[in-house]
A = this chain, B = another copy of it.
Amino acid sequence: MTEKTTLTDAVHQLLRRAIIEQALKPGMRLPEDTVGEQFGVSRTIVRHALVRLENEGLVVTRRNRGAFVAEPSLEEAKHVFEARRALEVEVIRLLVERMPSSGYDQLEAHVRSEQSVKGKDGPVSIRLAGEFHILMAELTGNAVLARYVSEVVLRCSLIMAMYAKSHSSECAVDEHSQIIVAIRDGDVRRATSLMDHHLGAVAGRAELEPKQDSVSSILSRYGKELAS
């Protein structure tokens, strides 16, 4: 059964993945013509994809200037993490209440695949870590929640790519396992606490120090001096 998908969808997903895996770095320009030629499609398609990506917070567009890969500020990053925590705590609650029968198998299988790339800090590791959370959200059966979780997780991936010095995936994978156990035990309190700690750790690691000097972060440091 070949799912019929539109070109817009394809370009959308490709760009998204490229951004998450840092092939397209934050702040980089995304001219419609260039991207279109690259994929062999017209500006129209690229445009639609860029609109979607903007809605997802992965790119920003400036009027008559074009689209750029988003450079989330530390404040914005904090906001994303706040929203994410709220959403994922709800996911935990729902999973304790109604985890589907094959849910644990899927989660454990995913953790195993995460462990298989253990040690390698990189795009793949970041992507897999995010997909674990997305999988959890999907297992709630709540498509709305799943979509929002998916969005914030992707934005967090971008944030981590910008700010985190190392993803420290070993720690994360272990925490993922612990969360599964807590859910299986029906212990909402412990599971949410673990998730809270998990996300807090991720957020904390990110806020320590900017990984690379982005244009905007530089300007924000020097801005005050120029505002005479």
Contact B90 A145 (CB under 8 A): no
Among residues 14 to 58 in chain A, which have CB atoms less than 8 Å away from a CB atom of chain B?
47-48, 51-52, 55, 57
Cross-chain contact of A90 among B4, B83, B144 (Cβ < 8 A): B83
Give the docked Cα–Cα distance between A144 and B83 (Å). Answer: 7
Q: Are B79 and A143 in contact (CB under 8 A)?
A: yes
Interface SS majority for chain A? helix
Whether B76 lies near A143 (C-beta < 8 A) is: yes
A89 touches B (CB below 8 Å): yes
Name which residue of chain B comes closest to A91, CB basis: B86
Contact of A83 among B4, B47, B55, B142 (CB under 8 A): B142
A148 in the interface (beta carbon within 8 A): yes
Cβ of A161 under 8 Å from chain B? no
With A55-B52, A86-B90 known as contacts, the answer to whether A145 contacts B6 (CB < 8 A) is no
How far does the Cβ of A151 sit from chain B's closest Cβ, in whole Å? 9
Q: Which of A61-87 contact B (CB under 8 A)?
A: 63, 76, 79-80, 82-83, 85-87
Chain A interfacial positions (CB closer than 8 Å to B): 4, 6, 47-48, 51-52, 55, 57, 63, 76, 79-80, 82-83, 85-87, 89-90, 94, 142-145, 148, 152
Known: A76-B143, A82-B94, A82-B142. 15 other contacts (CB 8 A): A6-B63, A48-B51, A51-B51, A79-B142, A79-B143, A79-B144, A79-B145, A83-B90, A83-B142, A83-B145, A83-B148, A86-B86, A86-B87, A86-B90, A87-B87
